[in-house]
Amino acid sequence: MTASLTAMAALAAMGTLTTLPDARGAEPVSTRASIEFVGEGAVDTLQPGVLLFTDRSYLAADLPDSLDGTSFLRRSIDHPAIIGVAQPGELLAITPDPGDPGACAQGAWLERNGFAPITPPETFQLFGQSSLDIVRVYRKMVARGEELIARKYVLFAGFHSATQTAEYPTSWADNRGERLYNGIVLPETWPPPTIVMAGTDPLPVPYLEARPQVVPIDVGRQLFVDDFLVEHTDLRRTFHMPEKYAGNPILKPETELELHGELNSAAVPKSGGVWWDPAEGLFKMWYEAGWIGTICYATSKDGLHWERPALDVNPGTNQVLPADLTPDSWTVVPDFAAQDPSRSYTLRLQPPGATQPGLCMTSPDGIHWTNRTPTGPAGDRSTHFYNPFRKKWVHSIRSGGRGRAREYWECDDFLAGAHWERNEPVPWAMADRNDPPDPDIGFIPQLYNLDAVAYESLMLGAFEIHRGPENPDCEALGLPKITELNFAYSRDGFHWHRPDRRTHIPAERRDVWDRGYVQSVGNICTVHGDRLYIYYTGFQGDVDRRGVNWLRNGMYHRGATGVAFLRRDGFASMDAGDRPATLTTRPVTFSGRHLFVNLDAAQGALRVELLDADGSPIRPFTLANCRPLTADGTLEPVIWESGAELPELEGRAVRFRFELTNGRLYAFWVSRDATGRSEGYVAGGGPGYTGPRDTVGRAALAAAAALRSHRR
């Protein structure tokens, strides 16, 4: 809001803003704040019968004398808004009484932000006759320049004047908040509270509309999934599809826990997790044994063949979830930065049922879980992930926008930040009109779940798109609902770019193990040398289990786990044919000295030159001096006649120009040494990696090759 406040006087002078005085002119102006608000709204006077919200026909009823005649801001009851303080003073906020668990009470949030409840009155009926609409009043002395989020069902009142401003932020170029590793600057109010889950328009990706003038590229391989780094090109962008493993499923119900007696059988990670443990040299999988059964644990040397170790939680089995807990949706994420060894692994569990609190736990080994901490209320497919670029734990919370959608809650500490009040998480993500409906069912797509993980220089997301039918129809058939996976990409951890709406991991829609209900694992993929292993869940269903209790209904029966393969960085490539084509980047900065590419040009060639920010070649790193690179590899060095090392350019903005013939360019990066290490993140990890980042370069390629050779 800082930019808006700074420009307020100038805008008012142009006559574009209207300031409305408080009707209660007798009270000293200096005690009451002046505010500005963003977007739709109007200032009015509180009195019996006045319309309270822009999108409801609710009229004020039982107003106490202390509020009768005060100013208030009429705005949407559902959609958050941003309020800025133009002049300091007292500000009132009215919200439902927290005593009714069904109410949209925001009192706890107001108190965390410095508001205090005032009396009299203790409470009063703002409108209607329902107990949900009994409210109380809160007060705060606000400071000039302070920002407030007008959350759902928060009515601001008692101010001196209110000024309507342009949409905030007017431009991402004006942002003054946190600066990210890639040059993106966030708004001061974060996460943004103003996303509206109405309509079918795709949600904006503002950092692509207002890109940083200069992009630091010291973190990770730079992928071509968008134009964030592209200034000009006549290469063609192609998005690529994973290939399902012919040996699927790699894990299916076999044990007593997985077969689940008369209930539904399953051996499925859901969002659980498949992570590489460099200390033990093993892949570790957390999966659900039996539908709504328990959580079990398996290990693998190669990510394809899995063993079930005997553990002590439930002796003689590989169960890791305590017997008194029941999972519905859940995720396991290592905490690589944990200072306390007992918190080396995190587990977020949502029990079966409607919206209710979940549970966060931690573990020293991923087997024994302690520190049970309740979360705020959430729906049944809620999960969590870690954003290492901002060092934030993020809860991906099911919400009801457009049938199914996502809300967002971030915190610094996994346990301490786990609690939120109802409606406190902000609207986040949804399906939209660019998601094609199922050609046979005709169902309007919904966002069933959203998992995410750090991959190289961005957050990689898996949108689980629900294409129908709804649960009652599936139960009547004994067949799984159709959900499928679509990749998404984010450079700020919140806004998602989804340029390719094809299904990347499909439901087969025939009587095989992954007929439907395809789901991602929380870490989405692991890295095996020059390939990504993308794990997923599928269900076959059972038409002989129709019309019975949902825990025995065929729609959730015979769940198993599979994997699909994709080239390393292979989500998108920039392609050239027989004639040379070029791509020139926007200005970038880096501190490394070795340029590497992920390239498929076995029948072609790539040359690269280095340019000043104004486009002039930097000698001797020109196209003419670059040795043509003819190769198909995921870690290929670019070499000039003068040698492989780039000049000392730390802090200097330059551009790269790539010239390609008969090939595909997937990624580029500047490494600090000749190993080709990228310093980027490697999702669930893989052979050769020693932690969550690529600090080894070629050593990971060698480790994966040795593993494949041993398997043969």
| pLDDT per position as a tens digit, 396-411 | 999 987 789 999 999 9
With beta carbons less than 8 A apart as the criterion, state whether 491 and 182 touch. Answer: yes
* Residue 535 amino acid letter: Y
Residue type for position 486:
N
Query: 3-state secondary structure string, 560-626?
Result: EEEEEEEECCCCEEEEECCCCEEEEECCEECCCCEEEEEEECCCCEEEEEEEECCCCECCCCCCCCE
Instruction: Calculate the CA 142 to chain-centre distance.
Output: 32
User: How many Å apart are CA 320 and CA 297, to the nearest integer?
Assistant: 7
Do the beta carbons of residue 408 and residue 396 sit within 8 Å? Answer: yes
d(CA 553, CA 681): 40
CA-nearest of 167, 160, 186, 150 to 74 is 150
pLDDT of residue 29: 39
Tokens of 439: 């050609």
Phi and psi, residue 41, nearest 5° = 165, 170
Cα torsion through 343, 345, 350, 352, rounded to 10: -120
To 5 degrees, how large is the angle CA 606–CA 612–CA 613?
A: 110
Which of 327, 285, 337, 325 has its CA nearest to residue 306? 285
Q: For residues 12 and 258, give the distance between their C-alpha atoms in angstroms, rounded to a whole number.
A: 67
What is the DSSP pairing of strand 71-74 with strand 134-142?
unpaired
Sequence length of the chain is: 712
Q: How far apart are the first and last CA of the chain?
A: 61
**CATH fold for domain 215-238+572-679:** Jelly Rolls (2.60.120)
Query: Residue with structure tokens 């040494």?
Result: 673
Look at residues 152, 144, 43, 70 and name the one whose alpha carbon lies nearest to residue 424. Answer: 152
HSE value, Cβ hemisphere, 13 Å, CA-based, for 222: 24
Q: In the chain, where are the structural domains located?
A: 2-165, 215-238+572-679, 243-567
For the chain (length 712 residues), average pLDDT per consecutive 10?
Answer: 34 31 40 86 93 93 91 87 89 89 81 90 92 94 86 90 74 90 94 83 95 97 98 98 98 98 97 97 98 98 98 98 97 96 97 94 98 95 97 95 90 96 88 91 94 98 96 95 98 98 97 98 98 98 90 96 98 98 97 96 98 91 96 97 82 94 98 97 98 98 90 66
H or E, element range at 704: helix 698-711
Any idea of the CA torsion for 44, 77, 463, 202, to the nearest 10 degrees? -40
How far apart (Å, rounded) are the C-alpha atoms in residues 409 and 397?
A: 8
Among 400, 396, 391, smallest CA distance to 408 is for: 396
Q: Which two tokens stand for residue 381?
A: 């497919």
Pairing of strands 588-589, 215-216: parallel
Question: Which H or E element spans position 108?
Answer: helix 107-112
Q: How many other C-beta atoms can be found within 10 angstroms of the C-beta atom of residue 196?
A: 14
CATH code: domain 243-567 is: 2.115.10.20
> Do the beta carbons of residue 51 and residue 58 sit within 8 Å?
yes
Residue carrying the six token digits 């709504």: 292
Mean pLDDT value across the chain: 91
